[in-house]
Amino acid sequence: MKSTKMTNYYSTYVAGILALVALTTTVQAANDTQIKKPVSQRFAESDNKEVPQFQQHVVPLLGKLGCNGRACHGSFQGKGDFRLSLFGYDFIMDHKQITAEDVERIDLKEPVKSLVLQKPLEEIDHEGGKRFDAGSWQHQLLTRWIEGGALGVPKEAPKFERLVITPNSIQFNKEGETVALRAVAVWSDGTQEDVTPLCRFQTNNEQIATISPKGLVTAQKPGDTHVVAFYDSGVIPIPVIRPVSDQYGNKYPEIATSTPVDKHVINKLKKLGMVPAEKCTDAEFLRRISLDLSGTLPAPHEVESFVNDTSPDKRSKKIDELLESPGYAAWWTTKLCDFTQNNYDDLINVSPVRERPSQDWYDWIKKRVADNVGYDEITEGILLATSREPQENFEQFTTAMNAIYQDKSDKEFADRGHMPYYWARRNFRNPDDRVLGFAYTFLGIRIQCAQCHKHPFDQWTQTDFKEFRGFFTRVNFGVNPESRTEYTAMVKELGANKLRGNQLLRELNKKVKGKKNVPFQEVYVTKARPVRTNNKNKNKKRRRNNSRSPDTAKLLGAEVVKISQMQDPRTALMEWLRREDNPYFAKAFVNRVWASYFNRGIIEPPDDLNLANPPSNGPLLDYLSREFIRHDFDMKWLHRQITNSDTYQRSWKTNKTNELDEINFSHYIPHRLPAEVLYDAIHQATASDDAIDSMKNSVDGRAIGIPASGVRNRTIRDKQYALTIFGRSTRESNCDCDRSVDPSLLQTMYIKNDNDVYSAINRSNGSWLFQVGQQLGAVQKPAERKERFNKRIDQLKEQSKSTKQQVAKLQKQNNKKKELQQAQKRLRALKTELRKVQQASNKMKNTPVRVQSFEQPLAEDKTEEIITRTYLRSLSRYPTEAEKTAAKKYLDESKDKMAGIYDLVWAVLNTKEFMLNH
């Protein structure tokens, strides 16, 4: 009975599936009948009477032929006095250029004589060569357009809506397989057209897949990439996968996925047949997470304790512990200062206390990172910043600022609600610069191309750039016009009214440090002043319009906002950033944080979120971005999500399936430590135990706590060379590429030979090797010369005292003037000698006490202890037996044991393992 029921159920199920397939096929067939055939078919025959449209057909064809590319008429200079908009975004300009009467590129009476036909046919000399054959569909299309009147884009023309590519993903099984793409353009009037022949195509990795001009994708080596189709403003990436092993799909081994991050990563690896690496060891994890989260090596006792801890949750506990450490707040503040471009040189003249703005910037962010303020709130405090707090008048503002900067003040800039110096930078006062900087910092997109032309790999046009610029035109830095009278009066009261520029700032600096109240320039927002268009003098109009604001501004890829009635147009930006449908804000930050842990973003480069540069794992980035928003932009939540995953905790050791993987996070990729972290690691690895604990508990004097970059920044002069050659962010532009981790010969020479490294190993105070020398009895005793100095000082003091008494007596005797003069002269000589001897003595006191040679044999347990401590301090692990044997042999053969120990420490610091996070 059961069998019969199951058979009937199965038959019904199969019949339903077949019916659904038939229905789907019918619908698809119906849809296909509504899609116009490609122009390559429609214009293949000369009797076709259809008139092509300028935007839909002519401009895309020119792009396909390369006419509006960078190397041809799309360049800024154009070619042969003929210039087109790059990639064809400006239809009005392009139409004027093509149809200009004075050049006769179009001949409506005799279309065959049109230059736009004769040159690409090479009937007339053409630097670009022959672009199509006579009678070809390209030739027929352009001819029919000219015969139809060579019309431009009418106002009532439908708008381009989207580009649909089929198939929307490709999986190959072997090299040489091919798949043809089909591109359909959808317009606002419902029109659909197969535009495959008019699309430009590119591959993001030709070693994985190639694509022909006709959209034919061909499989190459195993791996994954994207091919991209371009038409009008449509940019569509299509993922291409060729499994790297036969263990894909149903053959994939069972892999634990303990977190949502792991599920998304494994889902991708399953398609590739790529098996992830095993989890890293405890020692590897501790060093990795300590450097990534806090920019600090773990102390030797931490390593021993962590390795010996058997708690199943010890890794998550360590993550939580590091998130509360001073190093975390300092290092991730440094990263945020990179993104926001805290540069000392750009802030040098924005405050009377010239050295403070970059420090205030750093402190303001650090306080919020330490308090785990949401990333959106930090952004709001920067984006909507004005120098005055809400409801604060000029007098209250200046009083508050003076209280912060006057000596021994208990007020802190970090307590103020806004951080205005982002807008005060000297390289950030032009609206165009602000568009570029804002897009890089908070959206992770490079929009500079759209400043002049259409972005080559994205949807942005020059119009988008100009419309977005409206949000930034009313922000100013300087003397607020509403308070100019008060500002001038304060300057006059200080007697500095005749000074200008740097001279005035220097004088105000002296006054504020002398506890005098001085006026401050400020970031402020002006009221809207609409652009006037009725001025007859164009030059005057241009100058005036530069200081006026438009009535509306357009959010990138979103709606137009009426800003003329808004007190501060930037509020619309902040509201847009917080929206769940914002495609950039959360995603850009998540991607940057991910890149900090894995040395590459899910989108790479991390600040280049363009349509042609899709994520290597879209669902993973979407999940993290979505949940980051839902968790109120909680940065510590994001750090925990990533670092608690098996994906982050995987070993760098690979297997046959993932040894070539660089983009799918199947194993950890070792990468060089950032400049500040490496500099601190060198000094931490050579420091005494007490000094290590001090470095972990405080970031004072550490490289990860330097507030700003800049060549004039005095606070980093002693570290400048090292940080520069190891690629610390220059913060000179808004690009993440201002920071570098590329290797160089100078880096090798620094670690091997530079005096900084020598001094770190050989320093007398706070050095671990000094401690070792003390334990071995190899520290020099005070010199006898020091004792002689002390005796001589005592003698001079006694002689001076006696001579002073003699002078006092002689001064009471009127007949002893000559003797008095002699006594006074002798007293002066004694005091002079005493001062010189004391100076010499003090100099000796500050002279480092050196560790001297030690030639006695070391006890075996002492030798092993020194070797073990060296590895724990530098590499955060115990030495292997082979390493122990080699190190012990070297120390045993060293005549001077202290010199041998120095060599051992130097050798470990010079290993790749020390310089890498792994």
User: Which segment, 205-214, 341-350, 792-801, is predicted with the most confidence on average?
Assistant: 205-214
Contact present, 688 and 771 (Cβ < 8 Å): yes
Q: Quick one: 22 and 51 in the same domain? A: no
Q: Quick one: 170 and 200 in the same domain? A: yes
Average pLDDT for residues 93-98, to the nearest whole number? 88
Average pLDDT for residues 574-587, to the nearest whole number? 96
Contact present, 681 and 723 (Cβ < 8 Å): no
* Domain with 830 in it: 784-846
Q: Quick one: 46 and 141 in the same domain? A: yes
The closest alpha carbon to 433, from 346, 562, 538, 555, belongs to 346
pLDDT over threshold 50, residue 816: yes
Question: Quick one: pLDDT at residue 542?
Answer: 44
The closest alpha carbon to 65, from 166, 163, 151, 141, belongs to 141
Q: How confident is the model at residue 582 (pLDDT cuts 50, 70, 90)?
A: very high
pLDDT, tens only, 595-649? 999 999 999 999 889 888 999 999 999 999 999 999 999 999 999 999 999 999 9
In a domain, 97, yes or no: yes
Average pLDDT for residues 314-322, to the nearest whole number? 98
Question: Quick one: pLDDT at residue 25?
Answer: 38
Question: Quick one: pLDDT at residue 541?
Answer: 43
pLDDT over threshold 70, residue 411: yes
Q: Which residue has the higher pLDDT, 336 or 15?
A: 336
Question: Quick one: pLDDT at residue 334?
Answer: 96
Domain boundary among 186, 212, 242: 242
In a domain, 134, yes or no: yes
Please tell me whether residue 640 adopts helix, strand or coil conformation. Answer: helix
User: Which segment, 76-85, 639-648, 735-744, 793-802, is predicted with the most confidence on average?
Assistant: 639-648
The closest alpha carbon to 247, from 278, 221, 222, 210, belongs to 222
Question: Quick one: pLDDT at residue 451?
Answer: 66
Q: Quick one: 170 and 142 in the same domain? A: no
pLDDT over threshold 50, residue 544: no
Q: Quick one: 137 and 52 in the same domain? A: yes
Question: Quick one: pLDDT at residue 787?
Answer: 65
Task: Give the residue carrying structure tokens 């007293």.
Answer: 827
Q: Quick one: 52 and 135 in the same domain? A: yes
In a domain, 109, yes or no: yes
In a domain, 59, yes or no: yes
Q: Quick one: 70 and 142 in the same domain? A: yes
Q: Where are the extended beta strands (E) located within 765-918?
A: 916-917
Distance (Å, rounded) from C-alpha 13 to C-alpha 8?
A: 9
Pull the structure tokens for residue 583. 């495609």
Pull the structure tokens for residue 638. 């994001």
pLDDT, tens only, 219-231? 999 999 999 999 9
Question: Quick one: pLDDT at residue 520?
Answer: 94
Three-state SS letters, 850-874: CECCCCCCCCHHHHHHHHHHHHHHH
Instruction: Report the DSSP pairing between strands 234-242 and 170-171.
Output: parallel
Percentage of the residues of the chain whose pLDDT score is greater than 90: 59
pLDDT over threshold 70, residue 383: yes
Q: How confident is the model at residue 778 (pLDDT cuts 50, 70, 90)?
A: low
Q: DSSP code of 743?
A: -
Alpha-carbon distance values, 578 to 587, 642, 733 (Å): 12, 22, 25
pLDDT over threshold 90, residue 570: yes
Q: How confident is the model at residue 852 (pLDDT cuts 50, 70, 90)?
A: low
Question: Quick one: pLDDT at residue 58?
Answer: 93
Q: Quick one: 143 and 189 in the same domain? A: no
Domain boundary among 98, 124, 147: 147
Q: Quick one: 131 and 182 in the same domain? A: no
The lowest-confidence range among 242-246, 313-317, 414-418, 693-697 is 693-697
Domain count, the chain: 4
> Which DSSP string corresponds to 62-130?
HHHTTTTSTTTTTSSS-BTTB---TTS--HHHHHHHHH-TTTTS--SSSGGG-HHHHTTTTSS--TT--
Q: How confident is the model at residue 831 (pLDDT cuts 50, 70, 90)?
A: confident
Alpha-carbon distance values, 787 to 555, 764, 851 (Å): 77, 21, 20
Q: Quick one: 68 and 167 in the same domain? A: no
Contact present, 398 and 519 (Cβ < 8 Å): yes
Q: Quick one: 164 and 142 in the same domain? A: no
pLDDT over threshold 80, residue 502: yes
pLDDT, tens only, 116-157? 999 899 888 888 888 999 999 999 999 999 999 999 999 899
Q: What is the CATH number of the domain that holds 189?
A: 2.60.40.1080
Domain boundary among 147, 176, 209: 147
The closest alpha carbon to 414, from 384, 441, 378, belongs to 378
pLDDT, mean over the chain: 87
This prediction has a pTM of 0.85
Q: Quick one: 53 and 143 in the same domain? A: yes
Percentage of the residues of the chain whose pLDDT score is greater than 70: 89
In a domain, 53, yes or no: yes
In a domain, 211, yes or no: yes
